[in-house]
Protein backbone atom coordinates (compact mmCIF):
# COMPACT_ATOMS: atom_id res chain seq x y z
CA UNK A 1 0.00 0.00 0.00
CA UNK A 2 1.46 3.32 -1.10
CA UNK A 3 0.79 7.05 -1.20
CA UNK A 4 1.21 8.26 -4.79
CA UNK A 5 1.48 11.84 -6.05
CA UNK A 6 0.23 11.41 -9.60
CA UNK A 7 2.13 12.92 -12.50
CA UNK A 8 -0.47 15.49 -13.62
CA UNK A 9 -0.80 16.97 -10.12
CA UNK A 10 2.98 16.96 -9.62
CA UNK A 11 3.43 18.77 -12.93
CA UNK A 12 0.75 21.37 -12.19
CA UNK A 13 2.07 22.07 -8.68
CA UNK A 14 5.87 21.64 -8.86
CA UNK A 15 6.40 23.02 -5.36
CA UNK A 16 4.44 20.18 -3.77
CA UNK A 17 6.10 18.38 -0.88
CA UNK A 18 4.39 16.02 1.53
CA UNK A 19 5.86 14.74 4.77
CA UNK A 20 4.45 11.57 6.29
CA UNK A 21 4.67 10.43 9.90
CA UNK A 22 3.61 6.78 10.01
CA UNK A 23 2.76 5.49 13.48
CA UNK A 24 2.18 1.82 14.26
CA UNK A 25 0.85 0.46 17.51
CA UNK A 26 -0.60 3.84 18.49
CA UNK A 27 -1.94 4.14 22.04
CA UNK A 28 -4.65 6.79 22.22
CA UNK A 29 -6.06 5.53 25.50
CA UNK A 30 -3.25 7.07 27.58
CA UNK A 31 -2.48 10.71 28.40
CA UNK A 32 -0.47 12.68 25.82
CA UNK A 33 0.88 15.52 27.99
CA UNK A 34 3.24 16.60 25.21
CA UNK A 35 0.26 17.84 23.19
CA UNK A 36 -0.14 21.14 25.02
CA UNK A 37 -3.04 22.93 23.34
CA UNK A 38 -3.31 25.29 26.30
CA UNK A 39 0.12 26.71 25.49
CA UNK A 40 -0.80 27.71 21.94
CA UNK A 41 -4.10 29.17 23.18
CA UNK A 42 -2.14 31.23 25.71
CA UNK A 43 -0.04 32.57 22.83
CA UNK A 44 -3.20 33.70 21.05
CA UNK A 45 -4.43 35.37 24.24
CA UNK A 46 -1.09 37.17 24.35
CA UNK A 47 -1.52 38.60 20.86
CA UNK A 48 -0.04 35.94 18.55
CA UNK A 49 -2.09 35.22 15.43
CA UNK A 50 -2.02 31.98 13.44
CA UNK A 51 -1.56 31.95 9.67
CA UNK A 52 -4.38 33.39 7.59
CA UNK A 53 -4.76 34.32 3.93
CA UNK A 54 -2.52 37.35 4.47
CA UNK A 55 0.36 35.02 5.30
CA UNK A 56 2.33 33.46 2.38
CA UNK A 57 1.78 29.93 3.68
CA UNK A 58 -2.03 30.11 3.72
CA UNK A 59 -2.07 32.36 0.65
CA UNK A 60 -0.23 29.70 -1.38
CA UNK A 61 -3.09 27.30 -0.71
CA UNK A 62 -5.68 29.90 -1.69
CA UNK A 63 -3.87 30.19 -5.02
CA UNK A 64 -3.79 26.40 -5.46
CA UNK A 65 -7.49 26.06 -4.62
CA UNK A 66 -8.40 28.67 -7.22
CA UNK A 67 -6.23 26.88 -9.79
CA UNK A 68 -8.28 23.67 -9.50
CA UNK A 69 -11.62 25.47 -9.36
CA UNK A 70 -12.41 25.75 -5.63
CA UNK A 71 -13.29 29.10 -4.08
CA UNK A 72 -10.96 29.22 -1.01
CA UNK A 73 -13.26 31.61 0.83
CA UNK A 74 -16.15 29.23 0.56
CA UNK A 75 -14.19 26.00 1.16
CA UNK A 76 -11.06 27.08 3.00
CA UNK A 77 -7.75 25.20 3.02
CA UNK A 78 -7.43 23.27 6.28
CA UNK A 79 -4.59 25.40 7.66
CA UNK A 80 -6.59 28.57 7.04
CA UNK A 81 -9.83 27.14 8.45
CA UNK A 82 -8.14 25.92 11.63
CA UNK A 83 -6.18 29.14 12.09
CA UNK A 84 -9.28 31.30 11.66
CA UNK A 85 -11.15 29.19 14.21
CA UNK A 86 -8.30 29.56 16.72
CA UNK A 87 -8.04 33.32 16.13
CA UNK A 88 -11.81 33.79 16.46
CA UNK A 89 -12.49 31.62 19.51
CA UNK A 90 -9.09 31.44 21.16
CA UNK A 91 -9.53 27.69 21.38
CA UNK A 92 -8.51 24.56 19.49
CA UNK A 93 -10.92 21.61 19.42
CA UNK A 94 -10.20 18.61 21.63
CA UNK A 95 -10.89 15.50 19.56
CA UNK A 96 -8.44 12.66 20.17
CA UNK A 97 -4.79 12.89 21.26
CA UNK A 98 -3.60 11.98 17.75
CA UNK A 99 -5.84 14.54 16.02
CA UNK A 100 -4.98 17.18 18.63
CA UNK A 101 -1.28 16.53 17.95
CA UNK A 102 -1.50 17.22 14.23
CA UNK A 103 -3.77 20.24 14.78
CA UNK A 104 -1.17 21.67 17.16
CA UNK A 105 1.59 21.21 14.58
CA UNK A 106 -0.60 22.63 11.82
CA UNK A 107 -1.22 25.97 13.53
CA UNK A 108 2.34 26.18 14.89
CA UNK A 109 4.08 25.68 11.54
CA UNK A 110 1.32 27.01 9.25
CA UNK A 111 1.01 23.81 7.19
CA UNK A 112 -2.06 21.73 6.42
CA UNK A 113 -2.13 18.54 8.48
CA UNK A 114 -4.36 15.49 8.48
CA UNK A 115 -4.33 11.74 9.02
CA UNK A 116 -5.83 8.47 7.84
CA UNK A 117 -6.47 5.30 9.83
CA UNK A 118 -4.26 2.83 7.95
CA UNK A 119 -6.41 -0.13 8.97
CA UNK A 120 -9.34 1.43 7.09
CA UNK A 121 -7.35 1.63 3.85
CA UNK A 122 -7.18 -1.29 1.45
CA UNK A 123 -5.02 -0.12 -1.44
CA UNK A 124 -2.88 2.66 -2.87
CA UNK A 125 -3.89 6.23 -2.02
CA UNK A 126 -3.49 8.66 -4.92
CA UNK A 127 -3.34 12.44 -4.94
CA UNK A 128 -5.05 13.05 -8.27
CA UNK A 129 -7.70 15.03 -10.08
CA UNK A 130 -11.29 14.00 -9.38
CA UNK A 131 -12.95 12.01 -12.14
CA UNK A 132 -16.35 10.66 -13.11
CA UNK A 133 -17.62 8.03 -10.69
CA UNK A 134 -15.83 9.39 -7.64
CA UNK A 135 -17.83 9.50 -4.39
CA UNK A 136 -17.16 11.24 -1.08
CA UNK A 137 -18.80 10.62 2.30
CA UNK A 138 -17.93 13.59 4.55
CA UNK A 139 -16.64 13.30 8.10
CA UNK A 140 -19.47 13.22 10.62
CA UNK A 141 -22.15 12.74 7.95
CA UNK A 142 -22.00 9.07 6.91
CA UNK A 143 -25.41 9.17 5.22
CA UNK A 144 -24.35 11.84 2.71
CA UNK A 145 -22.62 11.07 -0.57
CA UNK A 146 -21.04 13.94 -2.51
CA UNK A 147 -19.67 14.01 -6.04
CA UNK A 148 -16.42 15.98 -6.25
CA UNK A 149 -16.07 18.49 -9.06
CA UNK A 150 -14.11 17.28 -12.08
CA UNK A 151 -10.55 18.56 -11.87
CA UNK A 152 -10.62 19.06 -8.10
CA UNK A 153 -7.46 17.72 -6.41
CA UNK A 154 -8.38 14.86 -4.08
CA UNK A 155 -6.91 12.04 -2.06
CA UNK A 156 -8.49 8.90 -3.53
CA UNK A 157 -8.49 5.16 -3.15
CA UNK A 158 -10.07 3.86 -6.30
CA UNK A 159 -13.30 5.85 -6.69
CA UNK A 160 -13.56 6.40 -2.93
CA UNK A 161 -12.50 9.96 -2.08
CA UNK A 162 -10.69 10.30 1.23
CA UNK A 163 -10.21 14.08 1.17
CA UNK A 164 -11.78 16.71 -1.06
CA UNK A 165 -10.17 19.98 -2.17
CA UNK A 166 -6.72 18.48 -1.54
CA UNK A 167 -6.83 18.83 2.25
CA UNK A 168 -10.30 19.79 3.48
CA UNK A 169 -12.70 18.18 4.33
CA UNK A 170 -11.89 14.54 5.16
CA UNK A 171 -13.97 11.43 4.66
CA UNK A 172 -15.80 9.65 7.46
CA UNK A 173 -14.54 6.13 6.75
CA UNK A 174 -10.81 6.76 7.31
CA UNK A 175 -11.08 9.17 10.24
CA UNK A 176 -8.71 8.75 13.18
CA UNK A 177 -10.56 7.75 16.35
CA UNK A 178 -9.69 6.57 19.86
CA UNK A 179 -9.68 3.04 18.42
CA UNK A 180 -7.10 3.79 15.70
CA UNK A 181 -3.87 1.87 16.15
CA UNK A 182 -2.03 2.44 12.86
CA UNK A 183 -2.11 5.95 11.44
CA UNK A 184 -0.44 7.93 8.68
CA UNK A 185 -0.17 11.63 9.48
CA UNK A 186 0.18 14.00 6.51
CA UNK A 187 1.81 17.44 6.37
CA UNK A 188 1.79 19.36 3.08
CA UNK A 189 3.06 22.33 1.22
CA UNK A 190 2.30 23.47 -2.31
CA UNK A 191 4.77 26.34 -2.72
CA UNK A 192 8.46 26.08 -1.81
CA UNK A 193 8.87 29.83 -1.43
CA UNK A 194 5.93 30.06 0.99
CA UNK A 195 6.95 27.04 3.08
CA UNK A 196 10.62 26.00 2.71
CA UNK A 197 11.50 22.32 2.99
CA UNK A 198 13.33 22.80 6.28
CA UNK A 199 10.18 24.23 7.85
CA UNK A 200 8.08 21.33 6.63
CA UNK A 201 10.72 18.89 7.84
CA UNK A 202 10.76 20.58 11.25
CA UNK A 203 6.97 20.24 11.43
CA UNK A 204 7.22 16.51 10.66
CA UNK A 205 9.92 16.03 13.29
CA UNK A 206 7.82 17.88 15.86
CA UNK A 207 4.79 15.73 15.09
CA UNK A 208 6.93 12.58 15.27
CA UNK A 209 8.23 13.72 18.67
CA UNK A 210 4.65 14.14 19.91
CA UNK A 211 3.58 10.73 18.62
CA UNK A 212 6.68 8.65 19.37
CA UNK A 213 6.11 8.18 23.15
CA UNK A 214 2.69 6.71 22.36
CA UNK A 215 3.49 4.32 19.48
CA UNK A 216 5.41 1.10 19.02
CA UNK A 217 7.13 2.46 15.92
CA UNK A 218 7.25 5.75 14.04
CA UNK A 219 8.60 6.17 10.52
CA UNK A 220 9.02 9.29 8.40
CA UNK A 221 8.72 9.51 4.62
CA UNK A 222 8.65 12.20 1.96
CA UNK A 223 6.74 12.58 -1.31
CA UNK A 224 7.93 15.26 -3.72
CA UNK A 225 8.93 15.80 -7.35
CA UNK A 226 11.77 13.29 -7.17
CA UNK A 227 9.97 10.78 -4.95
CA UNK A 228 6.38 10.51 -6.15
CA UNK A 229 5.64 7.39 -4.10
CA UNK A 230 5.92 6.51 -0.40
CA UNK A 231 5.35 3.07 1.09
CA UNK A 232 2.62 2.82 3.73
CA UNK A 233 2.69 -0.94 4.25
CA UNK A 234 4.53 -2.15 7.35
CA UNK A 235 7.90 -3.67 6.54
CA UNK A 236 9.47 -6.32 8.73
CA UNK A 237 12.63 -5.00 10.41
CA UNK A 238 13.84 -8.17 12.04
CA UNK A 239 17.12 -8.03 10.17
CA UNK A 240 16.27 -11.36 8.51
CA UNK A 241 16.01 -10.79 4.77
CA UNK A 242 13.13 -12.71 3.14
CA UNK A 243 15.48 -14.09 0.44
CA UNK A 244 18.17 -16.37 1.93
CA UNK A 245 21.86 -15.85 1.26
CA UNK A 246 23.76 -18.42 -0.78
CA UNK A 247 27.31 -17.24 -0.04
CA UNK A 248 28.89 -18.46 3.20
CA UNK A 249 32.07 -16.87 4.55
CA UNK A 250 34.19 -19.62 6.13
CA UNK A 251 35.64 -18.94 9.57
CA UNK A 252 38.84 -20.68 8.58
CA UNK A 253 40.47 -21.45 5.26
CA UNK A 254 43.22 -20.53 2.84
CA UNK A 255 43.71 -16.92 1.85
CA UNK A 256 42.23 -17.09 -1.69
CA UNK A 257 39.08 -18.77 -0.37
CA UNK A 258 38.61 -16.22 2.39
CA UNK A 259 39.17 -13.18 0.14
CA UNK A 260 36.91 -14.36 -2.69
CA UNK A 261 34.18 -15.40 -0.21
CA UNK A 262 34.18 -11.95 1.37
CA UNK A 263 33.98 -10.26 -2.03
CA UNK A 264 31.13 -12.55 -3.15
CA UNK A 265 29.34 -11.86 0.15
CA UNK A 266 29.25 -8.14 -0.64
CA UNK A 267 28.30 -8.77 -4.26
CA UNK A 268 25.37 -10.81 -3.00
CA UNK A 269 24.41 -7.98 -0.63
CA UNK A 270 23.99 -5.68 -3.65
CA UNK A 271 21.94 -8.38 -5.38
CA UNK A 272 19.67 -8.79 -2.36
CA UNK A 273 19.18 -5.05 -1.93
CA UNK A 274 17.87 -4.94 -5.51
CA UNK A 275 15.57 -7.95 -5.03
CA UNK A 276 11.84 -7.65 -4.48
CA UNK A 277 11.66 -4.09 -5.83
CA UNK A 278 9.50 -2.90 -8.72
CA UNK A 279 12.14 -2.41 -11.46
CA UNK A 280 11.04 1.20 -12.03
CA UNK A 281 11.80 1.97 -8.38
CA UNK A 282 15.42 0.84 -8.70
CA UNK A 283 16.08 4.20 -10.34
CA UNK A 284 14.63 6.20 -7.43
CA UNK A 285 17.08 8.58 -5.78
CA UNK A 286 15.67 7.63 -2.41
CA UNK A 287 18.23 9.18 -0.07
CA UNK A 288 18.38 12.91 -0.89
CA UNK A 289 20.37 15.07 -1.27
CA UNK A 290 22.46 12.21 -2.69
CA UNK A 291 21.77 11.48 -6.36
CA UNK A 292 22.58 7.79 -5.90
CA UNK A 293 20.11 5.07 -6.80
CA UNK A 294 20.29 1.29 -6.77
CA UNK A 295 20.20 1.37 -10.58
CA UNK A 296 23.12 3.82 -10.66
CA UNK A 297 25.02 1.81 -8.05
CA UNK A 298 24.74 -1.37 -10.14
CA UNK A 299 25.93 0.51 -13.24
CA UNK A 300 28.89 1.90 -11.28
CA UNK A 301 29.90 -1.50 -9.88
CA UNK A 302 29.67 -3.12 -13.32
CA UNK A 303 32.11 -0.50 -14.56
CA UNK A 304 34.41 -1.01 -11.59
CA UNK A 305 34.46 -4.79 -12.10
CA UNK A 306 35.42 -4.44 -15.77
CA UNK A 307 37.94 -1.65 -15.16
CA UNK A 308 39.93 -3.42 -12.46
CA UNK A 309 39.69 -7.12 -13.25
CA UNK A 310 39.35 -7.25 -17.04
CA UNK A 311 41.00 -4.08 -18.35
CA UNK A 312 43.77 -3.59 -15.78
CA UNK A 313 44.57 -6.95 -14.16
CA UNK A 314 43.93 -9.20 -17.18
CA UNK A 315 44.91 -6.58 -19.78
CA UNK A 316 41.79 -7.21 -21.91
CA UNK A 317 41.11 -4.77 -24.75
CA UNK A 318 37.62 -3.72 -23.71
CA UNK A 319 35.85 -0.35 -23.61
CA UNK A 320 35.10 1.16 -20.22
CA UNK A 321 31.53 0.78 -19.00
CA UNK A 322 29.39 3.82 -18.13
CA UNK A 323 32.34 6.23 -18.19
CA UNK A 324 33.97 8.78 -20.48
CA UNK A 325 36.26 11.72 -19.87
CA UNK A 326 33.50 14.01 -21.14
CA UNK A 327 30.85 12.40 -18.92
CA UNK A 328 32.54 10.77 -15.92
CA UNK A 329 29.38 10.61 -13.76
CA UNK A 330 27.15 8.86 -16.29
CA UNK A 331 27.07 5.67 -14.23
CA UNK A 332 25.03 7.41 -11.53
CA UNK A 333 23.40 10.17 -13.57
CA UNK A 334 22.26 8.51 -16.83
CA UNK A 335 19.42 6.23 -15.80
CA UNK A 336 17.42 6.11 -19.02
CA UNK A 337 18.17 2.43 -19.61
CA UNK A 338 16.43 -0.65 -18.23
CA UNK A 339 17.43 -1.36 -14.58
CA UNK A 340 16.99 -5.11 -15.13
CA UNK A 341 19.35 -4.98 -18.10
CA UNK A 342 21.86 -3.08 -15.92
CA UNK A 343 21.65 -5.89 -13.36
CA UNK A 344 22.34 -8.49 -16.06
CA UNK A 345 25.38 -6.53 -17.29
CA UNK A 346 26.72 -6.29 -13.72
CA UNK A 347 26.20 -10.03 -13.13
CA UNK A 348 28.07 -10.80 -16.36
CA UNK A 349 30.97 -8.58 -15.29
CA UNK A 350 31.08 -10.29 -11.87
CA UNK A 351 31.17 -13.70 -13.58
CA UNK A 352 34.05 -12.55 -15.82
CA UNK A 353 35.93 -11.25 -12.77
CA UNK A 354 35.53 -14.60 -11.00
CA UNK A 355 36.95 -16.42 -14.04
CA UNK A 356 39.95 -14.06 -14.13
CA UNK A 357 40.65 -14.68 -10.45
CA UNK A 358 40.26 -18.45 -10.80
CA UNK A 359 42.67 -18.56 -13.77
CA UNK A 360 45.36 -16.42 -12.08
CA UNK A 361 48.46 -18.32 -10.88
CA UNK A 362 48.03 -17.02 -7.33
CA UNK A 363 47.51 -14.02 -5.09
CA UNK A 364 50.98 -12.73 -5.90
CA UNK A 365 50.17 -12.46 -9.61
CA UNK A 366 50.81 -8.92 -10.85
CA UNK A 367 48.32 -6.90 -12.88
CA UNK A 368 49.03 -6.55 -16.62
CA UNK A 369 48.47 -2.78 -16.59
CA UNK A 370 50.16 -0.65 -13.94
CA UNK A 371 48.12 1.97 -12.10
CA UNK A 372 50.36 4.20 -10.02
CA UNK A 373 52.75 1.30 -9.83
CA UNK A 374 52.37 -2.46 -9.90
CA UNK A 375 49.87 -4.36 -7.74
CA UNK A 376 49.06 -7.96 -6.94
CA UNK A 377 45.81 -9.88 -7.13
CA UNK A 378 45.82 -9.93 -3.32
CA UNK A 379 45.79 -6.11 -3.28
CA UNK A 380 43.07 -5.99 -5.92
CA UNK A 381 40.77 -8.37 -4.02
CA UNK A 382 41.21 -6.33 -0.83
CA UNK A 383 40.55 -3.13 -2.75
CA UNK A 384 37.36 -4.55 -4.26
CA UNK A 385 36.15 -5.80 -0.87
CA UNK A 386 36.53 -2.25 0.43
CA UNK A 387 34.75 -0.86 -2.67
CA UNK A 388 31.79 -3.18 -2.21
CA UNK A 389 31.62 -2.72 1.57
CA UNK A 390 31.30 1.04 1.05
CA UNK A 391 28.58 0.67 -1.56
CA UNK A 392 26.71 -2.01 0.41
CA UNK A 393 26.23 0.69 3.05
CA UNK A 394 24.90 3.04 0.39
CA UNK A 395 22.56 0.28 -0.82
CA UNK A 396 21.24 -0.11 2.75
CA UNK A 397 20.08 3.50 2.84
CA UNK A 398 18.79 3.48 -0.74
CA UNK A 399 16.64 0.37 -0.23
CA UNK A 400 15.27 1.61 3.09
CA UNK A 401 14.36 4.87 1.39
CA UNK A 402 12.37 3.01 -1.27
CA UNK A 403 10.19 0.78 0.89
CA UNK A 404 11.58 0.76 4.42
CA UNK A 405 13.14 -2.70 4.09
CA UNK A 406 16.26 -3.33 6.17
CA UNK A 407 18.43 -6.32 6.83
CA UNK A 408 20.42 -8.66 4.54
- 80-97 residue pLDDT tens: 999 999 999 999 999 999
Task: Give me the residue spans of the domains in the chain.
Answer: 8-119+178-231, 255-403
Nearest to 17 by CA among 233, 226, 185: 226
pLDDT at 148: 93
pLDDT in tens, 37-48: 999 999 999 999
* pLDDT tier at 407, thresholds 50, 70, 90: confident
* pLDDT tier at 237, thresholds 50, 70, 90: very low
* pLDDT tier at 238, thresholds 50, 70, 90: very low
First and final CA of the chain: distance in angstroms? 23
Nearest to 114 by CA among 123, 101, 97: 101
pLDDT at 241: 55
pLDDT at 140: 87
For the chain, give the percent of residues with pLDDT over 90: 67
pLDDT at 332: 83
Q: Which fold is adopted by the domain 255-403?
A: 1.20.120
Task: State mean pLDDT over 325-353.
Answer: 88
Task: State mean pLDDT over 277-300.
Answer: 88
- How high is the mean pLDDT of the chain? 90
403 or 180: which carries more pLDDT confidence? 180
Task: State mean pLDDT over 330-356.
Answer: 90
* pLDDT tier at 64, thresholds 50, 70, 90: very high
Which architecture does CATH list for 8-119+178-231?
3-Layer(bba) Sandwich (3.50)
Give yes or no for residue 239 having a pLDDT over 50: no
Give yes or no for residue 256 having a pLDDT over 80: yes
Contact in structure between 297 and 307 (CB atoms under 8 Å): no
Give yes or no for residue 124 having a pLDDT over 50: yes
Task: State mean pLDDT over 5-9.
Answer: 92
pTM of the predicted model as reported, rounded to 2 decimal places: 0.60
With b for 16 or more beta-carbon neighbours within 10 A and e for fewer, the 285-319 pattern comes to bbbeeeebbbbbbbbbbbbbbbbbbbbbbbeeeee
Task: State mean pLDDT over 202-206.
Answer: 95
98 — phi, psi (to 5°)? Answer: -70, -45
Amino acid sequence: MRLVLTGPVAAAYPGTEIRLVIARGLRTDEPWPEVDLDAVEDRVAGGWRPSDEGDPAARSWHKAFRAFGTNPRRIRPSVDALGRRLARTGRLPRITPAVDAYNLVSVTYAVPAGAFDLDRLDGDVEIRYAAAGDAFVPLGDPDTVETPDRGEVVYAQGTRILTRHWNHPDADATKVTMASRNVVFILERVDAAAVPSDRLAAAAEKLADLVRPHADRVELATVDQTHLVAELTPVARSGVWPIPRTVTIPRAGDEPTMLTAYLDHYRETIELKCSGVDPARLSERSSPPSTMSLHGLVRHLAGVERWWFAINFAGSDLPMLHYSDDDPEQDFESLDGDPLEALQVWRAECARSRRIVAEAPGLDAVGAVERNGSYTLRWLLLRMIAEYAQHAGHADFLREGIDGATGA
